[in-house]
Amino acid sequence: MTIVEIINKKKNKKELTKKEIYYFVNGYCDGSIKDYQASSLLMAIRLNGMSEKETFNLTKAIINSGKMFDLSNIDGIKVDKHSTGGVGDKTSLVLVPLLASLGFKVAKMSGRGLGHTGGTIDKLDSITGFKTEVSEEDFVKQVNDVGCSIIAQSSEIALADKKLYALRDVTGTVDSLPLIASSIMSKKIALGSDVICLDVKVGNGAFFKTKKEALTASKLMIKIGKACGVKVRAIITSMDEPLGYNIGNKLEVQESIDTLLGKGPKDLENICIEICKIFIKETGLYPKETDLDSLIKGKIESGEAYQKLVDMVNAQHGSLPIKLDENLTVTEIRSNKEGYITKINTLDLGNMLVELGGGRKYKEQEINYDVGFAIHKKMNEYIKENDLLFTVYSTSPLSEKEIKEFQTSINVSNKPNLNYKEIYKIL
């Protein structure tokens, strides 16, 4: 067996055996299979797909490439959430402390940015002093003491995924269902939480462009979880516009803080509340007759949820508040048309953040945590000519071409888009 034989087999749309998949994963981990060979196989998988059996074997191979995290010393109900990625998706920064304030234990491991999508760890790295690399012992202790922790993926957990995750980002193979499913589920299962909720994004700014694709992905990942003895639920949410208003690492941290203080965007708050409700219903942490909306909103209104974020940041040696670089160029971009916003080219906006320096074009690239932009109008809002659409924070003045790209990312019509929803389905 050689890696070239495996590449040719998948190139010719044939199903890989468990032995072949393990050979690839283990070989890439030990360095005997090189980046260019792994890239070739990833592209063949991206183009030709994988069966459910192949995807399950790939997930297990990735899990077995590292060690399982032992969370048995954490007292209480352990829950975890993962998003399939989007633009402005800072859900974890709000949800994790909110869940902790409700009494759950959240031991979360996250990744850095992939393609046009932002990464939770990049956002946390933008907080002065915040440590995302901690020992397993300190991680467990913090979750017991504070109720939550978010750390970067350990090199010992799902080792193959960390390498493949970075390679996919720079080889055009991010948007592949079997690669997304195996990456997400290997990390989540290896971490050992009691219940996992997947926030599956759908829309022009997501990896899944249609509701059918998102539903297929959700069902596949739920099946993988069940096969591994883990309870998995999914919520399918829109990525036809950025989540919230702020896009960019520091800007998104600030918007998360605002949300935990009850002053954030309603779309972000609503999704976080719905995910909290899923966990409560699945675990029975509160009596069935509890008014869950009042309970969860009460944790925000009382300041308990925000305090959990402060406690987590302090425990991981970070310090608030967030401060943007005072030397940034600030540009206001205004509308040159009138009508209802019926489409926002969210993928284009994600790529614009990359061009500003807030995302990666290659895996070793350093990113600028300060740059980004705020979008001031959302789907189905009526805009007039010269209305403020974006405020952009950049290291140098924007060109006329860049300003035009921002303006053309907004499509308008004389009627609103009645098919648009923030949340499509809960599985």
Task: Looking at 289-393, list the stretches that DSSP marks H as alpha helix, in order from N- to C-terminal side.
Answer: 292-301, 304-315, 346-356
The angle, 0 to 180 degrees and rounded to 10, between the axes of the packed helices 177-191 and 52-64 is 40
Tell me how far apart the alpha carbons of residues 254 and 88 are, in angstroms, rounded to a whole number.
Answer: 12
Residues contacting 401, CB < 8 A, separation 6+: none
**Best CA proximity match to 81, nearest among 38, 39, 110:** 110
Tell me how far apart the alpha carbons of residues 197 and 119 are, in angstroms, rounded to a whole number.
Answer: 18
- The dihedrals phi and psi of 331, each to the nearest 5 degrees, come to -125, 130
pLDDT value, residue 368? 93
pLDDT value, residue 114? 64
Amino acid letter, 228: C
In DSSP terms, which residues pair with 237 in a beta bridge? 201, 423
pLDDT value, residue 115? 64
Tell me how far apart the alpha carbons of residues 193 and 96 are, in angstroms, rounded to a whole number.
Answer: 14
pTM: 0.87
Amino acid letter, 383: I
pLDDT value, residue 326? 92
Tell me how far apart the alpha carbons of residues 68 and 349 are, in angstroms, rounded to a whole number.
Answer: 37
pLDDT value, residue 155? 67
The vertex-114 CA angle with 111 and 120, nearest 5°, equals: 35
Cβ atoms 213, 221 nearer than 8 A: no
Active site residues: 82, 161, 168, 183, 187
Tell me how far apart the alpha carbons of residues 80 and 84 are, in angstroms, rounded to a whole number.
Answer: 14
Amino acid letter, 343: K
Q: Is 248 left (phi over 0), alpha (psi -120 to 50) or beta?
A: left
Structure tokens, 23: 């050979």
Return per-residue pLDDT of the chain as tens, 427 residues: 899 999 999 999 999 999 999 999 999 999 999 999 999 999 999 999 999 999 999 999 999 988 777 788 899 999 999 888 889 999 999 999 999 999 999 999 887 766 667 789 999 999 999 999 988 889 999 999 999 999 987 767 788 888 898 888 788 898 888 998 998 899 888 888 889 999 999 999 988 899 999 999 999 999 999 888 889 999 999 999 999 999 999 999 999 999 999 999 999 999 999 999 999 999 999 999 999 999 999 999 999 999 999 999 999 999 999 999 999 999 999 999 999 999 999 999 999 999 999 988 766 778 899 999 999 999 999 999 999 999 999 999 999 999 999 999 999 999 999 889 999 999 8
Tell me how far apart the alpha carbons of residues 263 and 261 are, in angstroms, rounded to a whole number.
Answer: 6
Burial class (CB in 10 A: 0-12, 13-18, 19+), 123: buried
Count of CA atoms in the C-beta half-sphere (13 A) of 393: 22
* Distances 183 to 136, 159, 404 between C-alpha atoms, Å: 21, 11, 36
Tell me how far apart the alpha carbons of residues 243 and 373 are, in angstroms, rounded to a whole number.
Answer: 13
Q: What is the pLDDT of residues 175-203, one digit of tens each?
A: 888 998 998 899 888 888 889 999 999 99
pLDDT value, residue 201? 93
Domains assigned to the chain: 3-49 (1.20.970.10), 78-315 (3.40.1030.10), 329-413 (3.90.1170.30)
Q: What is the pLDDT of residues 333-370, one digit of tens each?
A: 999 999 999 999 999 999 999 999 998 876 677 889 99
* Distances 186 to 26, 108, 165, 202 between C-alpha atoms, Å: 15, 13, 12, 21
pLDDT value, residue 363? 67
Tell me how far apart the alpha carbons of residues 177 and 167 are, in angstroms, rounded to a whole number.
Answer: 16
Cβ atoms 387, 377 nearer than 8 A: yes
**Best CA proximity match to 112, nearest among 132, 129, 96:** 132
